A and B are shown apart, each in its own frame.
Chain A
């Protein structure tokens, strides 16, 4: 116990006196959380609550123009700016990015629609022997064109969804008009059906909510994503300090001196890990406090941490263990501090990107999502999301915590035996990945 406590004390003293290291461990993630939460606030709102700026030029004075305008307002996804300007100006404004979408409803659009529908009905009735066949043979319909303009950087999927939505809206108007004209032709003597009367809805889609409590209504916003994400990233950046410490001890002969001392070497390793783990816990708590108390002062939403404090503690400790295990591996297989710090930083950034730290995993392509599942940062982030967004319990995060512990357990023995283990572990990771890939293909 004396050896363990003494090693913990020694490591903590060294860490606390390394001002540069402390800045990397505490200030960098704090800055990252604040900056990224502010930067990503708008994109997250884009997906969930921000309205799309739309420029509407309604040159039609009839019911069609009014119906389209009403449909756009009712959708509640557009911030509509109605102007009476020339088509070229609309194009310029959308191209310049002032508006995401521009819609131009041509003059006399209602008249043209009515004319087209009237002719269509007349033709159909004539074909059935109920009308003027001579008229139906000579007259032709002229297509009614509504102009939709998109900003140059608009995504294809977004364009498709908007076009579909507009088509759905106009087809409803077309159907209403069509029915009205058919009724008029068939019941010339009876009471005329009002073509503005709304159509009966035969099939409805009712969204059934799975949310039962107000906390469950919490959506993934910039703070809920960035605070746990960059906390994990910060924790994993301890890899650089830890690997550096191992390499330094090896270079200056301290490692050799320790190995000549009696007692289990695992005690020394446990002391080192405990000290670094302690730092990661402090780091994580500080970052969560930033999310809860600092970010709201900057106009961002407050971090909601769910109900399971034990779950949070477990995820933080498991993340710290995975990070320290990774640090041990990096410090063991690399010979110089330069090599280890470069590899440590780059590998953590790659694992962070794969793990959904930069952007959520659900926006990644399928092939990348498979790789994500191998990132220890993904396990931790998924655990935090379970707790923070889904009001998860300890049981719900156990798979993620288990992965992290397994990861750490496989890497820690590097400290003692570092000649063949790296290859062994890499081979195992490769085999696991291939096995998983085969299952995905099946």
Chain B
């Protein structure tokens, strides 16, 4: 395995039971440490299945890989200790306060006491929610919930952070705050794997991307290089050129 790689997988295949075709079909990719890697694709392309396998949620039908140096097939516990996940859903408990939610998640990663309290306070301050830490999540706006959702994924300072559309449905200010914070985390050495339908955001945020469709990687590389290579003006144009304009839902 490449010592500079945070994630390295080869020939990864996932076939769901009774499915006509594989959800992920022979994917090989390398994500370097410190990268912000965008996994882009239309609905049903296989992005979530790929991330689920990399997080240890799904077992690959075949193929091999390493996440932070741990084998994807038999070292899931070690992998889980090195990663953080920010799901697309607001995976928080609405009737608990922001602090109680983060306290619970911190405890689940083994954090406790003054250390946990300090980490929660720091993160809440960064995302501008330190003054509402004792308010219930159900009283928060969509943007505030998204920011707490992000903190829940990074509280334990993971080596690799997986984000599944972290800015969907939020206002411009909240989106800006989230992407800025992701840049800060990345500069601190955190590898970020990110999926999104927002091509402009991906183009600005990602150091590397892979465009995936029908379970296969169509192209991967640095966004600017890929745009130039295909004579496109931006990532969205490149995306449409490679995946087509046909509706997928």
* Residues of A participating in the B interface, judged by any CB pair closer than 8 Å: 2-3, 5-7, 9-10, 13-14, 17-18, 251-254, 256-263, 268
Q: How large is the interface on B (under 10, 10 to 19, 20 to 34, 35 or more residues)?
A: 20 to 34
User: A-facing mask of B67-95, CB < 8 A → 1, else 0?
Assistant: 00000000001001101010111111101
Does B152 count as interface, using CB distance less than 8 angstroms? yes
Please choose the segment from B2-10, B104-112, B177-185, B192-200 that sits at the chain A interface, where 4 or more of its residues have CB less than 8 A away.
B104-112
A260 to B81, CA, bound (A): 9
Judge whether A252 and B89 touch: CB under 8 Å: yes
Give chain A residues whose Cβ lies under 8 Å from the Cβ of B92: 252, 254
Chain A minimum-CB-distance residue to B138: A17
Judge whether A13 and B87 touch: CB under 8 Å: no
A18 to B109, CA, bound (A): 27
| Beyond known contacts A18-B95, A256-B87: 15 more, CB 8 A cutoff | A3-B108, A6-B103, A6-B104, A7-B104, A7-B108, A13-B100, A252-B90, A252-B92, A253-B88, A253-B89, A254-B91, A261-B109, A262-B77, A262-B81, A262-B109
B87, B95, B109: the one contacting A14 at CB < 8 Å is: B95
Does B57 count as interface, using CB distance less than 8 angstroms? yes
Give chain A residues whose Cβ lies under 8 Å from the Cβ of B55: 260
Chain A minimum-CB-distance residue to B105: A257
A260 to B154, CA, bound (A): 13
* Residues of B participating in the A interface, judged by any CB pair closer than 8 Å: 55-57, 77, 80-81, 83, 85, 87-93, 95-96, 100, 103-105, 107-110, 112, 152
Pull 23 A–B residue pairs with CB atoms less than 8 Å apart, ordered by A: A2-B107, A2-B110, A3-B108, A3-B110, A5-B107, A6-B107, A7-B108, A14-B93, A14-B96, A17-B95, A252-B90, A252-B92, A253-B88, A256-B85, A256-B89, A257-B85, A257-B152, A258-B108, A260-B56, A260-B80, A261-B80, A261-B108, A262-B81
Judge whether A259 and B57 touch: CB under 8 Å: yes
A10 to B95, CA, bound (A): 10
Give chain A residues whose Cβ lies under 8 Å from the Cβ of B100: 10, 13
Among A3, A9, A251, A254, residue most surrounded by chain B Cβ atoms (within 10 Å): A254
Known contacts: A2-B110, A6-B104, A10-B100. The answer to whether A260 contacts B85 by CB under 8 A is: yes
A256 to B164, CA, bound (A): 12
Q: How far is the CB of B191 from chain A (nearest CB, A)?
A: 16
Q: Is the interface of A mostly helix, strand, loop or mixed?
A: helix
Give chain B residues whose Cβ lies under 8 Å from the Cβ of A5: 107
Q: How far is the CB of A108 from chain B (nearest CB, A)?
A: 83
Give chain A residues whose Cβ lies under 8 Å from the Cβ of B91: 252-254, 256-257
Nearest 6 CB-CB pairings of A with B: A253-B89, A253-B91, A6-B107, A253-B87, A262-B80, A17-B95
A252 to B105, CA, bound (A): 15
A231 to B4, CA, bound (A): 62
Give chain B residues whose Cβ lies under 8 Å from the Cβ of A258: 108
Q: How far is the CB of B164 from chain A (nearest CB, A)?
A: 9
A259 to B83, CA, bound (A): 12
Chain B minimum-CB-distance residue to A245: B93
Chain A minimum-CB-distance residue to B89: A253
Judge whether A10 and B93 touch: CB under 8 Å: yes
Give chain B residues whose Cβ lies under 8 Å from the Cβ of A262: 77, 80-81, 109
Chain A minimum-CB-distance residue to B88: A253
Q: How far is the CB of B194 from chain A (nearest CB, A)?
A: 16
Q: How far is the CB of A229 from chain B (nearest CB, A)?
A: 32
A268 to B80, CA, bound (A): 16
Q: How far is the CB of A267 from chain B (nearest CB, A)?
A: 9
